[in-house]
Amino acid sequence: MELKRKLIPVGIALAMIAVLFISWTPNWDSPEWVRSTKPFVSFSFNVEQADSRAAEELVIDIKNRLKVRHEWHVVKEKESQWQVQTKVTEDDTSIQLDASVFKEGSAVDHLIVRGEKAVANELAGRLVSLLSSRIEKAHNDAD
- Backbone phi and psi for residue 44, each to the nearest 5 degrees, phi listed first: -135, 150
Question: For residue range 92-113, what is the model confidence (pLDDT) as tens digits?
Answer: 888 899 999 998 888 888 999 9
Q: 120, 138 in Cβ contact below 8 A?
A: no
Closest by CA position to 130, among listed 110, 116, 115: 110
**Which pLDDT does position 119 carry in this prediction?**
87
- Mark 87-122 as b/e (b = at least 16 C-beta within 10 Å): bbbbeeeebbbbbbbbbeeeebbebebeeebeebee
Closest by CA position to 99, among listed 140, 40, 42: 42
Closest by CA position to 59, among listed 95, 12, 5: 95
How many residues belong to the chain?
A: 143
Read off the amino acid at residue 119: V
**How open is the CA angle 82-86-91, to the nearest 5 degrees?**
170
**Which pLDDT does position 40 carry in this prediction?**
87
Which helix (DSSP H) or strand (DSSP E) does residue 111 occupy? strand 106-116
Reported pTM: 0.71
Per-residue pLDDT averaged across 121-130, rounded? Answer: 90
Lowest-confidence pick of 29-33, 57-61, 110-114, 116-120:
29-33
Q: In the chain, how long is the greatest CA-to-CA distance?
A: 88
Question: For residue range 61-98, what is the model confidence (pLDDT) as tens digits?
Answer: 999 998 887 788 888 888 888 999 999 988 888 889 99
